[in-house]
Amino acid sequence: MENVLKVVDPSFLRTRNLEVVKTLCKVGIAESKDVDEAVKVGKDAFRRWKSTEEVAIMDVLDNGKPIWEARMDMDSVIGALEYYGAYANNGFQGEYYKLAGGSFAYVTKEPIGLVAGIGAWNYPLQTATWKFTPLTALYLAEALKEAGLPDGVFNIIQGEGETGALLSSHPDVLMEIRHVTLELGGKSPLIIFDDADLKNAVKGALMANFFSQGQVCSNGTRVFVQKGDPLKEDTTVGATIHPEHAERVLQYIKEAKEEGAKIECGGEKIVIDGDLSGGRNFGAVACVLPFESEDEVVSRANDTPFGLAGGVFTKDLNRAHRIADSIDAGVVWVNTFNICTPEVPFGGYKMSGIGKRKWYNEAINILNYIYDSNPTSRAALSLLGHCYYYTQDFVNAANCYEQLTNYYPEVDDYRVYYAQSLYQACLYEEAMKITVQIENPELQHDMLKLQAAIKYGEEDLAGAKSLVDKCPDSDPETEINRGCLLYKEGRYEEALAKFIGAQQVIGYDPHLSYNIALCHYRVKDFAPALKHIADIIEKGNKRAPRIESLIEAFNLKAAIEFLLKNVEAAQEALTDMPPRSEDELDAVTLHNQALMNMESKPTEGFEKLQFLLQQSPFPPETFGNLLLLYCKYEYFDLAADVLAENAHLTYKYLSPHLYDFLEALITQQTSPEEAYRKFDVIASKHTEQLRKCTKTSKIYWDLEMYEQVEKIFRKSVEFCNESDVWKLNVAHVLFMQENNKFKEATGFYEPIVRKNFDSILNVSAIVLANLCVSYIMTSQNEEAEELMRKIEKEEETVAYDDADKKVFHLCIVNLVIGTLYCAKGNYEFGISRVIKSLEPYNKKLGTDTWFYAKRSFLSLIENLSKHMITVRDSVIEECIQFLDHCEIYGRGV
């Protein structure tokens, strides 16, 4: 560069160190001519930097865009440089974390190192360069050099695909997976509703399709326009009378063209279909497509493998936000299009980027193509292994990481991923061999945990426990692993305590929350299990966790609903989980689909269960469920064949009780007498067990240890859940626990009451009273009122038929509700219900009813005397009047 400031005067200004008296350096003293020279150089540099027009012209020559658009590019480049320049000062801050026990950790941001970047030709200065725009790339390098960037920091290499491949595979270019935007363009939808500002909408549609000659990844090539209503005043064009006449008009136009007429616009019937509307075209092609409803246009807008951007034109902002939320696109503009700034994230869904859908299979197709052409590509193999792992194709993932360990034996991480993939593929012996080959001291702790997991998978619980015990107690995962071992041993409550303890240390984790829910499920404590599942699903929808967390949660929810006989809710839980094709389904989902759709699709269900039985491993319930379903549908021969062919699975997956039951069922076909004898033995065992359970539960009930009573009842759920007496006892136990159990109690009381709704007085009064209280405590006041009106109507009918008959159902319900409100401190309403319970006094007042009624009054009097509460005078007068009536009618009791 020629314009460099040169100081030529021989006089110097001395700079001295204040601590040590010596000269550090000599600095020339500028004179008038030096100042003139500096100003001249600055003015020349300003002229050069000021002139972005030269760069814009070069941009036009390079890629053919019009000059006005090239000038816009210059402004956007300046904006990007300013934004990232400011971010360099403020954006790379360290992070500080508090740890358990008073320790802390901090994270510092460091430079990555040598980076290779491949830019795009349509915006060469914004994203560097590509092979079609070499001029702008060289100009950019020259400008950066002039700006003072040291030599070698920014380098330009011109070339085509081979050049990029050499760069991406160069050993000195740092290779690792980073958070990037895979901006692959697509078929962006632009939706124009009938209330839009049409002038603005047309402008937006033109910008969306013809900006940069359509060579923009976010172009809105599918313009959806809402059809007009012919009954509205602002609809100006209607339809041709019928299709035959439309064809006739088109024929007239065709004949006119043949005679030499020139058609300026239209004149042809165009069917927009196939690649034109659904495939990707990187050019100035706009498809205008009519639509009628919101649901229709959202469905059609999302009917594409791409999903980079979209646009909505409407005056209704609620509708705009609703549609924007429904479109599978990373960026959605409202009443504008193609506004991009460096501050706003830019990326897409599906094949337009790794959005929250994570289209691993599509990535696998692309990566396999790259791998076929370059089998040693480190990037292709690494990404393939990653994608195979998260699609649960662990065998292929292991193959990828095996090749990487061979090509790059010095990278221990690849061995770790190889071992993990083998473990997930249930190739436990091979996985253990790889773990012992890893000698890196930093990885030994992780390898110890992986080896314990391998032993756990092999069901060597003693071996797994010995390895877990070697892990430090300070690691929360040690407690989690101990919980898993306890769970495997069937000690669910102890396992639950371990998981809850770990959660208190590390905070929320979806997998840990699932473990807690699973333990609750195993002890038949469904309410907290469903609560944890709801948390996983809710947080999953907000934070987009790994898909397996949601799948586990939905499967467990389906299992709970199925056990509670809510088959529709169970099926809904399976359909609510993230969508996958059938070949992507995990074993548990496949099992649950078979089980919960067996009534409507039995053949398909049996095929799925038979398929699972041939896999290794398969859900433990598969074997028993397949046998039970064969027997249910009277395929006893098939059940006998499965039992004989899989004798080795009998002791592992069937309990003694289930095996005896299945054997008796199958024997019934050949020897009814022998089968009857076996059933009689089974019944005797259960009768004795029930007697023991009943006696034990009575002891706990008398001690008011209701949680223990509930546990005993849950043990008998498998063979007593059809009994109304058992349901009532469970309902009473849940009711007595009060805290968060009223909803569960309602679930047991309600079916019994509904079953006898037409003759409701046949139901015990205390059952009706408890159900009303449960309704009230769960804010279902309308249901409580409906039930009480039904009871009152039935009692009036009885009184009409037999005037002397005394019925106390409504009396007891009101007494219980009144007592409840008094206990909660609402004496005014509670006392009013107690007074109403004894009306008419000649029929309802008795020793028992008075015993319970007086308790509320005594409580009221006690609190009034202690000045703890106040009530209105009218309430006191009502109480005195009530007591006078009781004195009058109570003399004859």
DSSP E strand stretches across 36-152:
95-98, 104-107
- What pLDDT digit, counting tens, does each position of 492-541 carry? 999 999 999 988 888 888 889 999 999 999 988 888 999 999 888 887 65
Range name among 25-34, 416-425, 480-489 with the lowest pLDDT average: 25-34
Q: Are residues 195 and 341 in the same domain?
A: yes
Q: Is residue 120 part of a domain?
A: yes
Give me the pLDDT at residue 443, please: 87
Q: Are residues 217 and 348 in the same domain?
A: yes
Q: Are residues 98 and 155 in the same domain?
A: yes
DSSP class of residue 123 equals: S
Assigned token pair, 617 = 């491993």
Alpha-carbon gap, residue 655 to 794, rounded angstroms? 49
Give me the pLDDT at residue 365, please: 83
Mean pLDDT for the stretch of residues 126-131? 41
Position 491: which residue type? R
Range name among 208-222, 641-655, 747-761, 809-823 with the lowest pLDDT average: 208-222
Q: Where are the alpha helices (DSSP H) in 236-393?
A: 243-258, 275-278, 294-301, 317-326, 360-373, 378-390
Residue 397 has pLDDT above 90, yes or no: yes
Assigned token pair, 640 = 């006998």
Closest CA to 763 of 773, 776, 750: 750
DSSP class of residue 155 equals: -
Q: Is residue 767 part of a domain?
A: no
- What pLDDT digit, counting tens, does each position of 228-246 carry? 777 777 767 777 777 777 7
Alpha-carbon gap, residue 507 to 409, rounded angstroms? 37
Q: Which residues are catalytic?
A: 183
Alpha-carbon gap, residue 831 to 848, rounded angstroms? 17
Closest CA to 331 of 351, 313, 347, 354: 347
Q: Is residue 467 part of a domain?
A: no
Q: What's the sign of the alpha-carbon dihedral 662, 663, 664, 666?
A: positive
Q: Are residues 99 and 193 in the same domain?
A: no
Which residue would you say has higher pLDDT here, 529 or 174?
A: 529
Find the domain containing 34 and state its range: 12-50
The pTM for the full model equals 0.47
Give me the pLDDT at residue 759, please: 82
Q: Is residue 368 part of a domain?
A: no
Assigned token pair, 378 = 């480190």
Range name among 112-121, 279-288, 803-812, 869-878 with the lowest pLDDT average: 112-121
The answer to whether 864 touches 876, Cβ cutoff 8 Å, is no
Q: Are residues 42 and 57 in the same domain?
A: no
Give me the pLDDT at residue 687, please: 65
CATH of residue 534's domain is: 1.25.40
Q: Are residues 195 and 342 in the same domain?
A: yes
Give me the pLDDT at residue 802, please: 78
Give me the pLDDT at residue 186, please: 60
Give me the pLDDT at residue 10, please: 43
Q: Please write down the HEC assignment for all residues of 791-853.
A: HHHHHHHHHHHCCCCCCCHHHHHHHHHHHHHHHCCCHHHHHHHHHHHCCCHHHHCCHHHHHHH
Among 352, 378, 395, residue at a domain's last position:
352
Position 673: which residue type? E
Alpha-carbon gap, residue 882 to 849, rounded angstroms? 14
- What pLDDT digit, counting tens, does each position of 700-744 carry? 777 778 888 888 777 777 667 677 787 888 888 888 887 678 888
Strand order of the β-sheet with 309-313 is 287-291, 222-226, 189-192, 309-313, 331-334
Closest CA to 618 of 657, 646, 656, 579: 646
Consecutive H or E run containing 23: strand 23-28
Total tally of structural domains belonging to the chain: 5
Give me the pLDDT at residue 130, please: 34
Consecutive H or E run containing 48: helix 32-50
Alpha-carbon gap, residue 258 to 121, rounded angstroms? 43
Alpha-carbon gap, residue 136 to 123, rounded angstroms? 10
Alpha-carbon gap, residue 582 to 604, rounded angstroms? 12
Q: Are residues 59 and 199 in the same domain?
A: no
Range name among 178-192, 406-420, 475-489, 670-684 with the lowest pLDDT average: 178-192
Closest CA to 319 of 288, 297, 347, 348: 297
Q: Are residues 93 and 36 in the same domain?
A: no
Which residue would you say has higher pLDDT here, 93 or 355?
A: 93
Q: Are residues 147 and 66 in the same domain?
A: yes
Consecutive H or E run containing 288: strand 287-291
Mean pLDDT for the stretch of residues 82-108? 64
CATH of residue 57's domain is: 3.40.605.10
Q: Are residues 196 and 345 in the same domain?
A: yes
The answer to whether 516 touches 494, Cβ cutoff 8 Å, is no
- What pLDDT digit, counting tens, does each position of 402-456 carry? 999 999 998 888 999 999 999 998 899 999 999 999 888 888 888 999 999 999 8
Residue 3 has pLDDT above 50, yes or no: no
In the chain, what is the straight-line distance between the N-terminal and C-terminal CA atoms, in Å?
Answer: 119
HSE-up (13 A, CA, CB side) for residue 638: 14
DSSP class of residue 124 equals: T
Q: Are residues 200 and 326 in the same domain?
A: yes
Assigned token pair, 869 = 């509460």
Beta strand pairing call for 309-313 and 189-192: parallel
Over the chain, what is the mean pLDDT? 78
Give me the pLDDT at residue 620, please: 85
Distances (CA, A) of 679 to 480, 630, 658: 42, 19, 12
Q: Is residue 563 part of a domain?
A: yes
Distance of CA 44 to the CA centre of its chain: 59
Alpha-carbon gap, residue 605 to 826, rounded angstroms? 55
Assigned token pair, 785 = 């009122």
CATH of residue 206's domain is: 3.40.309.10
Task: Compute the radius of gyration of the chain from its Cα atoms.
Answer: 39
The answer to whether 353 touches 217, Cβ cutoff 8 Å, is no
Coil vs helix vs strand at 668: coil
Dihedral pair phi/psi, residue 190, rounded to 5°: -120, 115
Q: Is 120 left (phi over 0), alpha (psi -120 to 50) or beta?
A: beta
Which residue would you say has higher pLDDT here, 789 or 281?
A: 789
Among 670, 685, 717, residue at a domain's last position:
670
Alpha-carbon gap, residue 776 to 763, rounded angstroms? 19
The answer to whether 509 touches 699, Cβ cutoff 8 Å, is no
Q: Are residues 325 and 223 in the same domain?
A: yes
Give me the pLDDT at residue 36, please: 67
Q: Is residue 334 part of a domain?
A: yes
Among 294, 324, 352, residue at a domain's last position:
352
Residue 749 has pLDDT above 70, yes or no: yes
**Who contacts 521 (Cβ-Cβ below 8 Å, separation ≥6)?**
529, 556, 559, 560
Q: Is residue 762 part of a domain?
A: no
The four Cα atoms 208, 209, 212, 214 give a dihedral, to 10 degrees, of 130
DSSP class of residue 218 equals: T
Q: Is residue 35 part of a domain?
A: yes
Range name among 251-255, 394-398, 809-813 with the lowest pLDDT average: 251-255
The answer to whether 189 touches 319, Cβ cutoff 8 Å, is no
Assigned token pair, 62 = 């390079």
Query: Which residues, listed in sequence order, are joined to residue 106 by a DSSP beta bridge?
Result: 96
Residue 48 has pLDDT above 80, yes or no: no
